Amino acid sequence: MTDLRADDFLDGKLQITQPVRGYRSGTDAVMLAAACPAQTGQSVLELGCGAGVAVLCLGWRVRGLSITGVEQQVAYADLARQNAERNLIAMQIVTSDLQALPAALRATSFDHVMMNPPYFLGGTHAPDRGRAISRTEATPLDLWVDAGLRRLRPGGWLTMIQRADRLDGLICALAGRAGAVTVLPIAARQGREAGRVIVLARKGARAPMRLMAPFVLHQAPRHETDAEDLTLQAVQVLRDGAPIQLRIAKVP
């Protein structure tokens, strides 16, 4: 991986090096970080952290976290370490497949696990191998959820972002193991179908599922110019680093 560039996130509050032609994190990673309800002093694990965009956005917003990232691709794991150092955010990166985690990590429980599993089941692979691995599912979605739940302490929170048409798979994978499920649809524009969903679930909880009003990214009803037209809520999250307020129920 030789062609790299530094990208600004959170309106330049973070500078994160990513490959020019490989897999590049963007809005989805920032939204995932904004939805994670971690608080100072807690521990967070991200499965499939790539170059570290999501977990570094979270680390910038919430100081004093104990952060661990898992990434199977060596080049991306190395970038995550470099990006953490560059942005002065303490973070441990483990280079491993999520189905073969090191014993020390398997023996550790976390307050929060977050993940952005590959979106696509098949089809034409991207020409860049790193991009193809990051975008195309090799490990089934239910095994991602299983790996996340196993690393959570009782009562811990799992935060995920995924394509909206795969919501049923997430809900099935959580059944009987996590509750207080909160689903936030993400729509590009008002009146459009949601393309993504953010899903939060609490390990061992039994509270019913909640479906939130959509988070709308753009103000205009259609894309007409190249000028940015983010909604105020989107500006606060994507530029200012604000959390997504989901009013999570207090569950015993």
At 177, which helix (H) or strand (E)? none
Task: Output the six-digit token pair for 34.
Answer: 């904004």
Predicted local distance difference test score (pLDDT) of residue 132: 43
Angle made by CA atoms 84, 89, 95, in degrees to the nearest 5: 40
Helix extents (H) in 74-194: 74-86, 103-106, 129-135, 141-150, 167-174
Prediction pTM value:
0.89
In tens digits, the chain (252 residues) has pLDDT values of 668 999 999 999 999 999 988 788 899 999 999 999 999 999 999 999 999 999 999 999 999 999 999 999 999 999 999 999 999 999 999 999 999 999 999 999 999 999 999 976 654 444 544 444 444 446 899 999 999 999 999 999 999 999 999 999 999 999 999 999 999 999 999 999 999 999 999 999 999 999 999 999 999 877 766 667 899 999 999 999 999 988 665 554
**Bridge partner residues of 234 (DSSP):** none
Angle made by CA atoms 175, 247, 148, in degrees to the nearest 5: 35
Helix extents (H) in 108-201: 129-135, 141-150, 167-174
At 35, which helix (H) or strand (E)? helix 27-35
